[in-house]
């Protein structure tokens, strides 16, 4: 066991640290998946089915493909899709790390029965999903031992960026090849103060807009899964439609504020949250003085465009969950009540 952990105390941390290499491997894998790419090209709409973290990756694909490729994307949870399928046509993508999640497989079967082509995005060669779909993108993240998805999520994101690049004739290629170096930088950024604030909280909110909304959902899922602290991810603009009632000095808000279309309004959201007494941990880009002044704790990431920053933010939030759970002495690799893959509906 010790040898397999390679000096890390937990598989989750080991898997977080493998991510720069994983990112690189997955981009390569996408380039070597012409059959899958052919089923995605030339479509004006795509449907995605997935569960849990893979569903969050699906939401990232929606923003990427809509923003950069002009493709309309519908993202559905596998568990809903089978019983309440949307009108279907064209290609349906199933995202599943394990390739064995019953709800995702059932949804894909339903799509096939309605005449759709199907593409799998999975980390497990020879898994059920690869045998039932028309084409597969293998993530090449290597086996993921920790119940909490980390490197498989980053690989799913890398595949989304690779697909975006393929559908835009290489317009993201140069930027994508720099992302692994950016992720490397995130592995050592000090976050002790933020970890301290999170570990003493009983409830946390994560907010973001655009690509950073799914990143917020995933950050919150990771936190609740391994630290057992209640955490909710929200699109930043939705907080005032109800959750504001819960804000107090005891509910830290993790606000992802990366320059982009919604950046000015994100700053206003942070001011509104501060005015209601909640401490703010802001995640932004280096040199953002305005954000640093607004926040109680400011975590600065290397300057990068949004599609790179979503990778660095995601890794940072994995670390925040991991280090918080570790400081609370949780059973990180095997959280209570959870299984690595959910093979029953
Ligand atoms: C993530 O940390 C979870 N372990 C879980 O949400 C997982 O992503 C979900 O069960 C889907 O699994 P899959 O990717 O293997 O289909």
CB 66 within 8 A of CB 72: yes
How many A from CA of 117 to the centre of ligand 1? Answer: 23
Q: Which two tokens stand for residue 267?
A: 């700053």
Mean pLDDT across 101-110: 96
Q: Is the CB of 15 under 6 A from ligand 1?
A: no
Question: Are the CB atoms for 152 and 144 separated by under 8 Å?
Answer: yes
Mean pLDDT across the stretch 184-203? 96
Is the pLDDT score of 2 beyond 80? no
The mean per-residue pLDDT over the stretch 272-301 comes to 97
Q: How many CB atoms lie within 10 A of CB 146?
A: 22
Whether residue 82 has pLDDT greater than 90: no
**Mean pLDDT value of segment 200-206:** 96
| Number of residues that make up the chain | 345
Residue 329: Cβ within 10 Å count: 7
Using pLDDT thresholds of 50, 70 and 90, give the confidence band for residue 89: confident
Mean pLDDT over the full length of the chain: 96
Provide the 3-class DSSP secondary structure of residue 224.
Answer: helix
Measure 56 CA to ligand 1 centroid, in angstroms.
10
Q: What pLDDT score does 297 carry?
A: 98
Contact 79, 41 (CB under 8 A): no
DSSP-H helix ranges across the chain: 2-5, 11-17, 19-31, 34-40, 52-69, 78-81, 102-113, 128-132, 151-167, 173-186, 192-199, 212-227, 263-275, 289-294, 306-327
pLDDT of residue 105 exceeding 80, the answer is: yes
Residues ≥6 apart with Cβ < 8 Å to 317: 206, 215, 218, 219, 222, 223, 254, 283
Least confident of 29-43, 45-59, 74-88: 74-88
Ligand 1: centre distance to CA 271 (Å): 34
User: Could you tell me the pLDDT band of residue 340, with boundaries at 50, 70 and 90?
Assistant: confident
Residue 260: predicted pLDDT: 94
Can you tell me the mean pLDDT for 2-22?
94
CA atoms within 13 A on the CB side of 36: 26
Q: Is there an atom of ligand 1 within 6 Å of 333 CB?
A: no
Catalytic residues: 340
Q: Over the stretch 149-193, which tens digit does the pLDDT of each residue have?
A: 999 999 999 999 999 999 999 999 999 999 999 999 999 999 999
CA of 273 to the centre of ligand 1 (A): 31
pLDDT value of position 317:
98
What value, to the nearest 5°, has the Cα angle with vertex 12 and ends 233 and 295? 40
Query: What is the average per-residue pLDDT within 5-29?
Result: 96
Q: Give the ipTM of the model, two decimals please.
A: 0.98
Q: What is the per-residue pLDDT across 106-155, written as a single tens digit (0 to 9) for each?
A: 999 999 999 999 999 999 999 999 999 999 999 999 999 999 999 999 99
Any bridge partners for residue 281, and if so which? 254, 297
Residue owning the nearest CA to atom 6 of ligand 1: 52
Q: Is 342's C-beta closer than 6 angstroms to any atom of ligand 1?
A: yes
Q: Is the pLDDT of residue 55 over 90?
A: yes
- Global pTM reads 0.97
Question: What distance separates the 2 farthest-apart alpha carbons in the chain?
Answer: 55
pLDDT band at 341; cut points 50, 70, 90: confident
Q: Give yes or no for residue 146 CB within 6 A of ligand 1.
A: no
Q: Decide whether any atom of ligand 1 lies within 6 Å of the 104 Cβ.
A: yes
Ligand 1 and 128: CB distance under 6 A: no
Q: Which two tokens stand for residue 235?
A: 């699109």
What band does 339 get if pLDDT is binned at 50, 70 and 90? Answer: confident
Tell me, using a 6 A CB cutoff, whether residue 77 lines ligand 1. Answer: no
Neighbours of 325 (CB within 10 A): 26
Q: How confident is the model at residue 11 (pLDDT cuts 50, 70, 90)?
A: very high
Q: Is the pLDDT of residue 28 over 90?
A: yes
Q: Which residue matches tokens 């973001």?
A: 208
Tell me, what DSSP letter sits at residue 239? G
CA of 148 to the centre of ligand 1 (A): 7
Q: What is the DSSP string of 122-163?
A: ESSTT-HHHHHSSEEEE-------SSS-SHHHHHHHHHHHHH
Cα distances (angstroms) measured from residue 48 to each of 91, 121, 200: 9, 10, 37
Of the candidates 321, 152, 239, which has an alpha carbon nearest to the alpha carbon of residue 160? 152
The residue contributing the CA closest to ligand 1 atom 16 is: 96
Closest atom, ligand 1, to C-alpha of 50: 16
Choose which residue among 49, 51, 96, 137 to substitute to test ligand 1 binding: the one with the highest number of ligand atoms within 8 A of its C-beta: 51
- Residue to probe by mutation, ligand 1, list 15, 16, 97, 123, most atoms within 8 Å of CB: 97
Is the CB of 54 within 6 Å of ligand 1? Answer: yes
Say how far apart CA 189 and CA 59 lie, in whole Å: 27
Find the mean pLDDT for residues 38-48: 96
Task: Kindly give the distance from the C-alpha atom of residue 132 to the centroid of ligand 1, in angstroms, as a whole number.
Answer: 19
Instruction: Please state the atom number of ligand 1 nearest to the C-alpha of residue 147.
Output: 4
Please tell me if the CB atom of residue 149 comes closer than 6 angstroms to any atom of ligand 1.
Answer: yes
| pLDDT for 9 | 96
First to last CA, the chain: 32
Cα 286 to ligand 1 centroid, rounded to whole Å: 32
Joined together, the tokens standing for residue 13 give 């941390």
Identify whether the C-beta of residue 308 lies closer than 8 Å to the C-beta of residue 178: yes
Structure tokens at 244: 């504001």
Shortest CA distance to 151 belongs to which of 309, 18, 317, 319?
Answer: 18
């Amino acid at each position: 066991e010790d040898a397999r952990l390679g000096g890390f105390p937990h598989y989750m941390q080991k898997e977080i640290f493998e991510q720069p290499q994983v990112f690189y491997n997955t981009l390569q894998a996408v380039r070597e998946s012409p059959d899958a790419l052919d089923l995605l090209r030339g479509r004006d709409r795509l449907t995605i089915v997935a569960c849990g973290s893979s569903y969050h990756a699906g939401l990232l694909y929606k923003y990427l493909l809509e923003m950069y490729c002009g493709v309309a994307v519908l993202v559905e949870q596998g568990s809903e899709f089978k019983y309440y399928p949307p009108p279907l046509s064209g290609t349906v993508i199933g995202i599943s790390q394990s390739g064995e999640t019953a709800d995702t497989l059932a949804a894909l079967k339903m799509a096939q029965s309605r005449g759709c082509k199907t593409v799998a995005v999975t980390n497990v060669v020879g898994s059920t999903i690869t045998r039932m779909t028309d084409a597969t993108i293998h993530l090449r993240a290597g086996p993921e031992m920790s119940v909490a998805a980390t490197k498989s999520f980053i690989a799913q994101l890398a595949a989304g960026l690779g697909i975006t690049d393929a559908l835009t004739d290489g317009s993201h290629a140069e930027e994508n090849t720099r992302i692994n170096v950016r992720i490397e930088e995130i592995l050592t950024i000090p976050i002790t103060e933020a970890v301290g604030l999170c570990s003493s909280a009983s409830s946390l909110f994560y907010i973001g807009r655009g690509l950073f909304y799914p990143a917020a959902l995933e950050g919150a899922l990771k936190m609740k899964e391994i630290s057992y602290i209640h955490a909710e991810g929200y699109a930043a603009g939705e907080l005032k439609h109800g959750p504001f009632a819960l804000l107090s000095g005891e509910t830290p808000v993790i606000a992802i504020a990366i320059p982009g279309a919604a950046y000015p309004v994100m700053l206003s959201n942070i001011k509104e949250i501060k005015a209601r007494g909640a401490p703010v941990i802001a995640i932004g880009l280096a040199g953002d003085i305005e954000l640093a002044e607004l926040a109680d704790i400011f975590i600065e990431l290397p300057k990068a465009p949004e599609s790179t920053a979503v990778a660095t933010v995601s890794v940072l939030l994995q670390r925040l969950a991991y280090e918080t759970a570790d400081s609370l002495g949780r059973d990180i690799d095997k959280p209570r009540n959870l299984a690595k893959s959910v093979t029953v509906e």
